[in-house]
Structure 1
Amino acid sequence: MITPDVLVIGGGPAGLTAATELADRAAGHVLVVDREPAAGGIPRHSDHTGYGLRDLHRVLTGPAYARHLVRQATRAGAEIRTRTMVTGWADDHTVDVTSPEGRYRIRPRSIVLATGARERPRTARRIPGDRPHGVYTTGQLQNLVHLHHRPVGERAVIVGGELVSWSAVVTLREAGCTPALMISQYPKAESYAAFNAAGRTLLRVPVATRSRVTRIIGKGRCQAVELEHLDTGRRRTVACDTVVFTGDWIPDHELARAAGIALDAGTLGPLTDTALRTSRPGVFAAGNLLHPVDTADVAALDGRHVAQQVIGHLHGMPRPADGVRLVADAPFRWVAPQILRPGDPAPARGRLLLWTDEFVRFPQVTVRQDGRVLARRTLTWPAAPGRVFRVPSGLLTGVSPTGGPVRIGLR
């Protein structure tokens, strides 16, 4: 039995940043466990630039960013154990662990779940057809290329138009594979306009919008995909030996589910308040486990935010009374966090995070409670599918702590 003060499960940006803050603030023995051979999370095998802008105020490649976070946590005094997997719960405050050193248990005073998110593979998307080689998610592709230095194919189709989709394009080009086509179900690719324009002009990748993959073709190795236009129903076949499914994120919530922690029906991650408490006392959550999926630096800032709340718990701060639920109205799919309690801090960066299924260039956000409009504001940035939409938490100022659910929508 190991008894650290804080156990952080997951060694990605959120978990490592939380560990650094906790160790810096003398929270006692801070232990980070990660099932991978090295800590750092997804950035470890995302060998392109663009990491660290919001948390470090500089730009690094993914591997450099991962190494920096590991160094920070280690220098602060946190202990990091890799190849260490939490397999279950012995009781409400004790977890079972398996590692090369054997099986053991950890009973901390507080736990931070920072297990992140993953892309849904082809099987979870129910794409029919053959079962050939050459079909990946972005994570599988980057792991194969950047960590194992293996070849992929010669001509690829990318399913999805999110930021991570362009990351897949860069990885394919580095592996010597030509990205032939990107496919998006929306009227425009989900990524930021600057990335879409650069992708079309510099990377020379055409984008088929309002389209979906209806079949994968190939015996042994992928040979083609069949596409359908969602508006006309017209189908065509595109030759390729590689297919990369990008985006369509789901949180790695198995541990939360096994613990009986309440999950949010929208995000499928743990239900949390603005202090990032879960429904189990002493158990907190941070990063893309809560909002699948945001950028690595935003996940890191979640880790910084949750550290102060964990310290409050360690010092005996009582759990506040029941709060008010925040509910996302269509076209929003989810909002995070989902509970507003009196006396709690504002959410990380003073922002609520939402996910929309429709593109709105000049969104007017409305906040309602008990049939009354509490706030209405037109924001200068668009609400777009495939990326997180940020709303200032100051719009919640007029919420009554004794009222009904608070509904956040678009006029």
Structure 2
Amino acid sequence: MTDHLSLLEPDVLIIGGGPAGLTAASELSARRAGHILVVDREQEAGGIPRHSDHTGYGIRDLHRVMSGPAYARHLVDQAARAGAEIRTNTMVTGWADDHTVEVTSPQGRYQIRPRAIVLATGARERPRTARRIPGDRPHGVYTTGQLQNLVHLHHQPVGKRAVIVGGELVSWSAALTLREAGCTPALMISRYPKAESYAAFNAAGRAVLRVPVATRSRVTQVIGKGRCQAVEIEHLDTGKRRTIECDTVVFTGDWIPDHELARAAGITLDEGTLGPLTDSALRTSRPGVFAAGNLLHPVDTADIAALDGKHVAQQVINHLHGERRSAAGVRLTVSAPFRWIAPQILRPDDPAPARGRLLLWTDEYVRFPKVTVRQDGRAIARRTLPWPASPGRVFRVPSSLLDGVSQAAGPVQISL
């Protein structure tokens, strides 16, 4: 016998209360798109910035510089003032049908059947287990998110000496959090010839935080019974190994989208990003279901995720007004050293992607990247860009490079 669950029918359901979801809610509510409902599984909305207690947020979307917690509070307040309803401690557990989700919250179980859905569930760092790092299983091993949650939200102590695995922007965020918790970041480890973060961050990190970086290196073993005692690292070129004493290890970066709901729905996923396959209007393969933020490009900065939310709002409004996508579309693909591109489909009459940028991920550092666009084996555009393609951060390519793409021809390949 099936339970009879109560049913909510908002105009738009946004799943995920981070920067993308909250910005989409603000924009939709401000433009009177109807009842906008945001659900988030955490106790408070705001996403990762809630426990990222350092400055640098809000630059591109709000044109100001804020701390992570202040930025999160601002986005929540902005959405609420615009008229969006935000429900926290609310977990979407599955799909009742193609456009109805099942929800569990402290108020009980119920269903939500909106006219449109925006998936904005974000991304997470791969933990040690997913990275297959051998050795002991001691206490004191975290991801950046776990560390910041422990320190900034629960005000708990960590260790005294830490090794940070990864050299991305988030790795320096972890270093700041460790310092605040009274833990010395003893070493940062990157498998690349240079740390993946922006040069300015790397220089400032070394000078101000005094964190040395071991490049072209990897962790081969975690050592410790009960509490972490050390890690063994190996230089990838020489094979030389050494042991670094530490009582704390933080695995940073190596992001994967929180795509469980999309997978459960049978929404087509992109093989590169592992998030939903989308066009430049951020439509997924299921009509009426959109996606935005770091679910699509794991991982970009919070302000870029927020601008995705602003971009998707107009596309949701178009859908509510009866606009439907055309069946045609050209697939965008990449070749090495690129790992993925977002969005992945170019349709006629669709808008340019957010900020007029294609987002790509590279596995190699190229100081002066010459980007080539090919269709059916023929080069249709080439451009040397003035910013580097660097592992560990999103590489942005002007979408105008696709102006010569033919909708009647085959897939488009973007390469260096």
Instruction: Pick the TM interval, shorter chain.
Output: over 0.9
Distance apart, 1:222 and its partner CA? 0.1
Give 2:181's aligned residue. 175
Alignment of 1:78-227 (within 5 A): 78-227=84-233
Give 1:49's aligned residue. 55
Distance apart, 1:319 and its partner CA? 1.9
Aligned-residue CA RMSD in angstroms? 0.4
**SS at 2:263 equivalent:** helix
Give 1:400's aligned residue. 406
Corresponding letter in the other structure for 1:37 = Q
> CA-to-partner distance for each residue in 1:15-74, whole Å, 9 max, x for gaps?
000000000111100000000000000000000000000000000000000000001100
1:250 and 2:217 matched: no
Q: Structure 2: where are the runs of 5+ without partners? A: 1-6
Q: Structure 1: where are the runs of 5+ without partners? A: none
Distance apart, 1:322 and its partner CA? 2.2
Instruction: For 2:8 and 2:260, locate their aligned partners in 1 and report how far apart those are by CA, in whole Å.
Output: 22
> CA-to-partner distance for each residue in 1:66-111, whole Å, 9 max, x for gaps?
0000011000000000000000000000000000000000000000
Give 2:415's aligned residue. 409
Instruction: For 2:152 and 2:66, locate their aligned partners in 1 and report how far apart those are by CA, in whole Å.
Output: 16
Instruction: For 2:56 and 2:326, locate their aligned partners in 1 and report how far apart those are by CA, in whole Å.
Output: 38
User: Which consecutive aligned stretches of 4+ in structure 1 deviate over 2 angstroms post-superposition?
Assistant: none
Corresponding letter in the other structure for 2:39 = V
Instruction: For 1:346 and 1:82, locate their aligned partners in 2 and report how far apart those are by CA, in whole Å.
Output: 33
> CA-to-partner distance for each residue in 1:201-238, whole Å, 9 max, x for gaps?
11100000000000000000000000000000011000
Alignment of 1:222-301 (within 5 A): 222-301=228-307
Distance apart, 1:328 and its partner CA? 1.0
Give 1:38's aligned residue. 44
Select 2:364's aligned residue among 358, 364, 377. 358
Distance apart, 1:320 and its partner CA? 1.3
> CA-to-partner distance for each residue in 1:372-392, whole Å, 9 max, x for gaps?
101000000000000000000
> CA-to-partner distance for each residue in 1:174-210, whole Å, 9 max, x for gaps?
0000000000000000000000001111110000000
Instruction: For 1:165 and 1:406, locate their aligned partners in 2 and report how far apart those are by CA, in whole Å.
Output: 34
Distance apart, 1:345 and its partner CA? 0.2
| TM-score normalised by structure 1 residue count | 1.00
1:334 and 2:321 matched: no
Distance apart, 1:318 and its partner CA? 2.1
Select 2:77's aligned residue among 71, 76, 81. 71
Corresponding letter in the other structure for 2:228 = C
**SS at 2:151 equivalent:** helix
Q: Which moved more, 1:68-77 or 1:314-323?
A: 314-323
Give 1:9's aligned residue. 15
> CA-to-partner distance for each residue in 1:326-354, whole Å, 9 max, x for gaps?
00111100000000000000000000000
Distance apart, 1:402 and its partner CA? 1.1
| TM-score normalised by structure 2 residue count | 0.98
Give 2:27's aligned residue. 21
Instruction: State the number of aligned residues.
Output: 410
Instruction: For 2:360 and 2:287, locate their aligned partners in 1 and report how far apart those are by CA, in whole Å.
Output: 26
Identity over aligned residues, as a percent? 85
Distance apart, 1:117 and its partner CA? 0.1
**SS at 2:8 equivalent:** coil
**SS at 2:132 equivalent:** coil
Corresponding letter in the other structure for 1:127 = I
1:309 and 2:302 matched: no
Instruction: For 1:80 and 1:241, locate their aligned partners in 2 and report how far apart those are by CA, in whole Å.
Output: 40
Instruction: For 2:43 and 2:122, locate their aligned partners in 1 and report how far apart those are by CA, in whole Å.
Output: 16
Distance apart, 1:321 and its partner CA? 2.0
